[in-house]
Structure 1
């Protein structure tokens, strides 16, 4: 059974002459142990696709299933619990709290999700792999965009979610860091049996994907 399944998803914004259809009859599945890459230019619907897959938005029509459960049957509270316990998001905006240090970002996660997180040693290894272990006492406005991006990646991985949904996770990174992140995500998928979905226009990530899709003008087609 697929961990995530999108069936005939359509998403529209606006009404009348201002109506825009962002996603058009999209079908998609993601399985444990695999990294799926959704490629497409800006404005192609990638972020909308990802937020619908993770239950942050609802489709205009169609069905989203997570581990065989239909998300439209979930209450808002149940969706919150799903995201807390099973889905890790890496969003373009980083979503780091500016008044917390890097260390405190992880402490906040631990307060909200008390069990099932990475161990202290695993977290330290992750921070070292991402080259941010020396930044634990820094605030987000004291770091570069690339450093904030890597902290956001680590924070999403720290709760040890079964599903990782990443929106342009390498947009602010140089090629060496892209290689580190690509290898890390692939390792998380294979060794830890996680379903990982990345939406991006960064072609440098192609080498790490099990499946590659193209999202263009709201239509999703499978390339690999």
Structure 2
């Protein structure tokens, strides 16, 4: 998709490079790309994050600028600065063990954004660059510990409605923090730990119920000679 494939001649090569999509396909592609989730489990100093940011931004720019792009999308094309910020918000995540590498990761993403920031905004006193504290985080992606407990790497699939509601609220709190609408880092961190604790408590409760069922005396089975 969007990359050169086998072919002959400049016209054919360009056709293969760009792809041939209908208006509905362009709409679907934009919707999917704007909601894709990308996580780097060993983020380092951010080369992968910056690379993916640039790739997604270029592909979206290509889709928005096509002749057959739906008019409602073409008339509402976000500026490069806002589009990149939205990509970081919705799509990019990273985990890195070394704290100093996380700081460099943040700096590289900020610099990539700053390049496309409108000149009139560069002298603003408002916080225009996003807060990346919950986007690229210090941690160990191989072993996740909460206190003295090791959290399952594969995560928890079956969650109760109340926990799902808490996760939705937590995501909104992090989004507000990203856009500098909130600065209460400790509160969000506390809520995040509370969600983890709720998941663990639910897992413990379910396992206790299974143990209780297994410990109940089984009804005696009649043998062949008792019938």
TM over 0.5: no
Q: Which has the higher helix share?
A: 2
Could you tell me the TM-score, scaled by structure 1's length?
0.28
Could you tell me the TM-score, scaled by structure 2's length?
0.28
Larger relative contact order, structure 1 or 2 (CA cutoff 8 Å, min sep 6): 1
Q: Which has the higher strand share?
A: 1
Structure of larger gyration radius: 2
